[in-house]
Amino acid sequence: MRLDEWFLTGEERGNPATRLSAWTTGNLVRPLVHGAAYFADLRAALDRLGKDDLLLFADWRGDPDERLTGDGPGVARAMAGAAHRGALVRGLIWRSHLDRLRFSAEENRHLGEDIEAAGGQCLLDTRVRPGGSHHQKFVVLRHDDGTADDVAYVGGIDLCHSRRDDAAHHGDPQAAPMPGVYGDRPPWHDAQVAIHGPAVADVETVFCERWDDPAPETRQPLRRLRDHVERMDDVPELPDPGPPPGRAGTHAVQLLRTYPYRRSGYPFAPLGERSVARAYHKVLARARSLVYLEDQYLWSTEVIEPFAAALEREPELRMIIVVPRHPDQDGWLAAPASLIGRADALARLRRAGGDRLGVYDLENHAGTPVYVHAKVCVVDDVWASIGSDNVNLRSWTYDSELSCAVVDEEPDPRPPAGARRFARDLRLLLAGEHLDRDPAGLCDPGDAFEAFAASARALDAWHRGGRRGPRPPGRLRPHPEPRLGRLRRALAQPLYRLAVDPDGRPPALRRSKRF
C-alpha cells in the first residue's frame, strides 16, 4: 500500500513553515475508548516519571481536582507529583472564556497555579482569533534514560470533569454542568489514543512550536499584569528534543492540525493550517464501501460537502454517523444556534445518500441520553482518525486542533479483503459497545450497516411501545431530524454564523470555498 494515497504529502499539508514530518512509520497506536481507560493509562504513565523526565501537555479545559482513577489523585496532584520527583513539567492551557458562559477560566487558571507551585510551568494561552480557542488535547511523556517508555496521548478527552466515564455510561461522579436532559451525571462517550514509537517526537514538535511562539500569551494588559504577579508569564526554554523513539509496531501515523489564519500569524503556520480539512477531502475522495463517523456536532453544509460528494459518487458507499441527541448548550437561542448547522448538514447528506445513510444517537441502559464527544472517523477500514476536531467550520478553520490519523501497514486477514487491522479493529470495538454484541461478524460493511439499523429500530420500537417487555440489546436510537421554527432559526442564524461556527480561512480561500 502506498501511504501517500491515504496521507497528505508535505506539500498537500499546505504549511511549509512547520517542522512536522509528513508522517512516520513503525508506531504502535492503542485506542483508549472513554475517559476512564485514558485516565487510568495516563496515571500509570505519570507515576513512572522521575528526575529529568519530561511532561508536556496542552488542554482546552483542565479541572485540577478531576480524579484520574476512583481512588487516585486529581490531575493537578498527579502532575505536581511528577514535578516534585524532578520531572520537567510544562503546560499550555487555553485561558478560556468566562465561567458564567459554561466555560472554565478559573478552573484552567487553578490547574496552572497548582502545577507552578510544584515547580512546573504553565501558560494560559490566548494566542487565538477573537472568539476562538486552543482545542488541542494531548500529553507527551519522554524519559531521560531512554525512549522505550515514551508515549504521547492525542484525542478528544480533556483533563476535566465529566470525562471519566466508561462503557457502562453511568457518568463521571465529578460532573460538569450540562442540560438537564443528561441527568446529574451526564453519560459521556469519548476517545483518545496512546502513541508509542517515532510519532511521539512529532507530538512533541506540536507542543514546542506553540511554546516557542514569541507572541505574548495574552494581549490584555490586566491579564498580563495578573500573570506577571502570579509568575505565570515566564517562558523558560524547553530542553532540546531527544531522539525519536524507535520502532514499536506497524502503524503509520500522520498528525493533522488546524490553526486559523491571523493577521499576526503563527510563526509555525503564517497562513494557518487546515490539514484536518485537507485530509478529509483526500480520504473521502477514495471512499468506496463504508464511512464510520462519531462526532460531537456535525455542522456546516460546506464542511459536509465531501461526505455528500462521496455518497453521490459511489452507489455502494454506506455511511454510519453517531452524534449526541441533544446539544451541550440549552437556552432559547443557544440550542437552536447549535442545531441550525446540523439540520442543514443532515438534509444535504440525506439528499446524497438516501437509505445508505444511517444517523444515530446513544443512550445508556437506563434510557439516559449519552453525550457523544468523540471525534472518530474510519474510512473503508483502512484510514482511521481520532482527535480533537469536530466536523464543522470552527474545527476545520478557526480553533487549534490536533488529530492522529493511522494507516496500519499490516493487512487485516478477515474478509472482505483490503482492510487494515487497526482501522477495522477500531470500528468493531465501537460497534460492539453500541450494539451490545460480539462484533466479530460485522467486518462486511453491508452487514455492519444493517446491524446498526436493526438495533436502532428495535430499541426505538420498544420505547414507542411503552417500554414493555425485555429491553432489546444495544444503545442506538435513530437520530431525529432537528426541527426549528422560522422565528427561532432567523434569530439564531447570526449567532450561529458569527460565534458558534465561524470561518477562519484566509479571504481568498473563503471566497473560493477551498481549504
Q: What pLDDT digit, counting tens, does each position of 172-209 carry? A: 999 999 999 999 999 999 999 999 999 999 999 999 99
CATH of the domain at 93: 3.30.870.10
Tens of pLDDT, residue by residue over 391-402, are 999 999 999 999
CA distance 197 to 139: 15
**What is the average per-residue pLDDT within 438-449?**
97
- Whether 382 has a pLDDT exceeding 60, the answer reads yes
Q: Tell me if 1 is assigned to some domain.
A: no
Structural contact between residues 62 and 108, judged by C-beta atoms closer than 8 angstroms: yes
- Which residues face 259 on adjacent strands? 273
Query: In this structure, what C-alpha cell is assigned to residue 16?
Result: 511549509
**What is the average per-residue pLDDT within 214-229?**
69
CA distance 205 to 186: 35
Same domain membership, residue 297 and residue 214:
no
Same domain membership, residue 426 and residue 296:
yes
Same domain membership, residue 277 and residue 179:
no
Structural contact between residues 28 and 252, judged by C-beta atoms closer than 8 angstroms: no
Structural domain boundaries, residue 32? 24-249
Same domain membership, residue 242 and residue 350:
no
Beta strands in 24-82 (DSSP E): 24-33, 54-59
Which pLDDT value is given to residue 227?
Answer: 59
Lowest mean pLDDT among 93-97, 105-109, 262-266: 105-109
Same domain membership, residue 369 and residue 456:
yes
Confidence band, pLDDT 50/70/90 cuts, at residue 233? low
Tens of pLDDT, residue by residue over 135-171, are 999 999 999 999 999 999 999 999 999 999 999 999 9
Q: Tell me if 93 is assigned to some domain.
A: yes
Which pLDDT value is given to residue 103?
Answer: 47
Same domain membership, residue 292 and residue 227:
no
CA distance 114 to 76: 6
CA distance 359 to 142: 41
How far is the CA of 108 from the CAs of 303, 364, 399, 439, in angstroms? 30, 30, 17, 40
Query: In this structure, what C-alpha cell is assigned to residue 333?
Result: 437561542
Same domain membership, residue 152 and residue 295:
no
Q: Tell me if 368 is assigned to some domain.
A: yes
Q: Tell me if 14 is assigned to some domain.
A: no
Q: Tell me if 165 is assigned to some domain.
A: yes
Confidence band, pLDDT 50/70/90 cuts, at residue 236? confident
CA distance 421 to 411: 6
- Whether 364 has a pLDDT exceeding 70, the answer reads yes
Last residue within a domain, chosen from 228, 249, 270: 249
Same domain membership, residue 98 and residue 31:
yes
Q: What is the pTM of this model?
A: 0.96
Q: Tell me if 339 is assigned to some domain.
A: yes
Same domain membership, residue 304 and residue 450:
yes
Lowest mean pLDDT among 198-207, 227-236, 302-311, 479-488: 227-236
Confidence band, pLDDT 50/70/90 cuts, at residue 102? very low
Which pLDDT value is given to residue 101?
Answer: 43
Beta strands in 277-424 (DSSP E): 290-294, 318-322, 357-363, 369-372, 376-379, 383-387, 401-408
**What is the average per-residue pLDDT within 368-375?**
98
- Whether 228 has a pLDDT exceeding 90, the answer reads no
Q: What is the DSSP letter of 7?
A: S
Same domain membership, residue 300 and residue 227:
no
Query: In this structure, what C-alpha cell is assigned to residue 106?
Result: 478559573
Number of domains in the chain: 2
The one-letter amino acid code at 427 reads: R
Q: Is 59 exposed, middle or buried (0-12, 13-18, 19+ CB in 10 A)?
A: buried
Number of other CB atoms surrounding residue 264 within 10 Å: 8
Residues 25-34: b if buried by 16+ CB within 10 A, e if exposed: bbbbbbbbbb
H helices then E strands: how many in the chain? 14, 18
Confidence band, pLDDT 50/70/90 cuts, at residue 290? very high
Query: In this structure, what C-alpha cell is assigned to residue 210?
Result: 506553540
Last residue within a domain, chosen from 199, 216, 249: 249
- Whether 230 has a pLDDT exceeding 80, the answer reads no
Same domain membership, residue 215 and residue 268:
no
Last residue within a domain, chosen from 220, 249, 278: 249
Q: Tell me if 236 is assigned to some domain.
A: yes
Lowest mean pLDDT among 212-216, 318-322, 385-389, 471-475: 212-216
Tens of pLDDT, residue by residue over 2-53, are 999 999 999 999 999 999 999 999 999 999 999 999 999 999 999 999 999 9
Same domain membership, residue 272 and residue 245:
no
Confidence band, pLDDT 50/70/90 cuts, at residue 99? very low
Dihedral pair phi/psi, residue 151, rounded to 5° = -150, 150
CA distance 493 to 508: 24
Which pLDDT value is given to residue 224?
Answer: 60
